Amino acid sequence: MRRVAITGLGAITPLGNSVKEFWDNIVAGKSGAGSITKFDASKFKTQFACEVKGFDPLEYFERKEVRKYDLFTQYAIAATDEAIKDANLDFENMSREQKFDIGVIWASGNGGISTFEEQLSEFHSGDGTPRFNPYFIPKMIVDIAAGVISIRNGLHGPNYATVSACASSNTAIIAAYDAIRLGRASVMIAGGSEAALTPASIGGFSASQALSKRNDDPEAASRPFDADRDGFVAGEGAGAIILEEWEHAVNRGAKIYAELAGGGMAADAYHLTATPADGIGALLGMQKALKDAGLTPDVIDYVNTHATSTPLGDISELVAVNTLFGEHKPAISATKSMTGHLLGAAGAIESIISVLAVHNNIIPPTINTKNIDPDIPQGLNIITGKAVNTKVDYVLNNTFGFGGHTASTIFKKPY
């Protein structure tokens, strides 16, 4: 099957609204967490999150357009605009026929949840007469971001959304990878966006005991693998990746960051929200990614873990990692310690981190982790505190979602 190059990146994140700003803050080990400003969270058990800061939709849309799009779609467009520019793809000067072969697969776990909440609130606070916004449904549905990206750029190739909770955008990237390998497209835009810092979302996750309650010290709240971790920190934003058939990229002289070498998906088949102690779904997903890439575990230099800072999830993932790698000890870090958990967009921004780790030979740190949980397998090479400069040829990126979904991807140096 055809090889797939990564030629463009775009990001809207709690650590910056461009890939450069985002990556610089990741390498510096900064936290994106702070008090929630999007609504009054004073009555909630958790009052902080990793919010996107300084985002102005008018930098990307006309004012009348802004009203048509939920924030998750606005984030998607902003990130894809940067990725398209980064890849030096000039859609305006392409023929319509050339764009028949370019598609979009975009993910979100929650879609337009803020639109949904706002519209129902307005309905119930009124006289009961239905006065819904005509854009209510297209603003809310999960697939609309993929559609808007396609419409905005005139792209006629494969176009749809993937939803697998927090594995959603890694699933989208694997689907785009397969579309190119199977000859269904030459170029694909893939990624995910999430704008779920809303009362219902924070309230729901809080009720399920998933969120950290460290309100007095938000920046230190996300602490994967730490014995004192008490839940994840919710985040928002978007990550976009341009995937391109290898020869197509080479022939047009594109910059190639990395090669997407393999992808694997599996299921825990265990519980709605909890992960099994043996990490079977995570293990199977990683094994399938390695098999797809034709690689053995000993070549992996770095694992970007899903590690959300939850008591059960962190342990089960590292049990799976330990089972897979055995005596080989790749570097491990959890970048959610800085970004928070971007839910359906997590896989996309962590894929960008993985690609840039390969491109720049830098392994980002895990911050806030001081005392490794004794229930985590001993002897693992967990990178804490500061980034490490070292040769990085292969990176494995994990994402897992409620419902037991697992998705793993492998990025390699573009030799």
Q: CA torsion 151→153→159→165, rounded to 10°?
A: -90
Residue 73 class from Cβ within 10 Å (0-12 exposed, 13-18 middle, 19+ buried)? buried
Instruction: State the Cα–Cα distance between residues 363 and 280, nearest whole angstrom.
Output: 26
Domain spanning 4-251: which CATH class is it, in words?
Answer: alpha beta
Containing H/E element for 242?
strand 237-245
User: Per the residue annotation, which of 163, 166, 345, 395 is the catalytic one?
Assistant: 166
Both tokens of 381, joined, read: 């090479």
| DSSP-H helix ranges across 332-385 | 336-339, 346-360
Residue 302 has pLDDT above 80, yes or no: yes
For CA atoms 386, 387, 389, 392, the dihedral sign is: positive
**What DSSP element (H or E) covers 192?**
strand 187-194
* Average of per-residue pLDDT values in the chain: 96
Fold matches, 4-251 and 262-412: yes
The pLDDT of residue 284: 98
Q: Is the pLDDT of residue 194 over 90?
A: yes
Q: Which two tokens stand for residue 94?
A: 């392409």
Residue 80: what pLDDT?
98
Q: Is residue 50 annotated as a catalytic residue, yes or no?
A: no
Average pLDDT over residues 20-38: 98
Domain boundaries, the chain: 4-251, 262-412
State which CATH number among 2.120.10.30, 3.40.50.300, 3.30.420.10, 3.40.47.10 fits the domain covering 262-412.
3.40.47.10
User: Which backbone phi and psi does 93 adopt, to 5 degrees?
Assistant: -105, 15
Give pLDDT tens digits for 339-356: 999 999 999 999 999 999
pLDDT (tens digit per residue) in 265-295: 999 999 998 999 999 999 999 999 999 999 9
- Other Cβ atoms less than 10 A from the Cβ of 341: the count is 26
73 contacts: CB under 8 Å, gap ≥ 6 = 112, 139, 144, 145, 148, 193
For the segment 318-323, the average pLDDT, to the nearest whole number, is: 98
The pLDDT of residue 124 = 85
With tokens 């790749």, the residue in question is 330
User: Taking the chain, what is the end-to-end CA distance rounded to the nearest angstrom?
Assistant: 17
What is the average pLDDT across 169-176? 98
pLDDT of residue 136: 94
- Per residue in 91-109, pLDDT (tens digit) is 999 999 999 999 999 999 9
- pLDDT at position 353 is 98
User: Tokens 């809080």 — which residue?
Assistant: 206
Nearest one of 330, 329, 319, 318 to 396, comparing CA atoms:
330
Q: Work out the angle at residue 321's Cα, subtended by the Cα atoms of residues 320 and 327, and round it to the nearest 5 degrees.
A: 120
Confidence of residue 300 (pLDDT cuts 50, 70, 90): very high
| pLDDT recorded at residue 409 | 98
Q: Does position 129 have pLDDT exceeding 90, yes or no? A: no
Q: Per-residue pLDDT for 128 more than 80?
A: no
Radius of gyration, CA atoms only, the chain: 20
pLDDT attached to residue 22: 98
Per-residue pLDDT at 131: 83
Other Cβ atoms within 10 Å of 208 Cβ, number: 12
Across 209-228, average pLDDT = 97
The predicted structure's pLDDT at residue 127? 76
Long-range contacts of 381-388 (CB under 8 A, 24+ apart): 381/329, 381/330, 381/331, 381/332, 382/225, 382/332, 382/333, 383/331, 383/332, 383/333, 384/333, 385/29, 386/29, 387/26, 387/27, 387/28, 387/29, 387/362, 387/363, 388/331, 388/362, 388/363
Cβ-contact 255, 91 below 8 angstroms: no
pLDDT, one tens digit per residue, over 224-276 is 999 999 999 999 999 999 999 999 999 999 999 999 999 999 999 999 989 99
pLDDT of residue 39: 96
For residues 318-336, give the mean pLDDT: 98
In contact, 142 and 163? CB cutoff 8 Å? yes
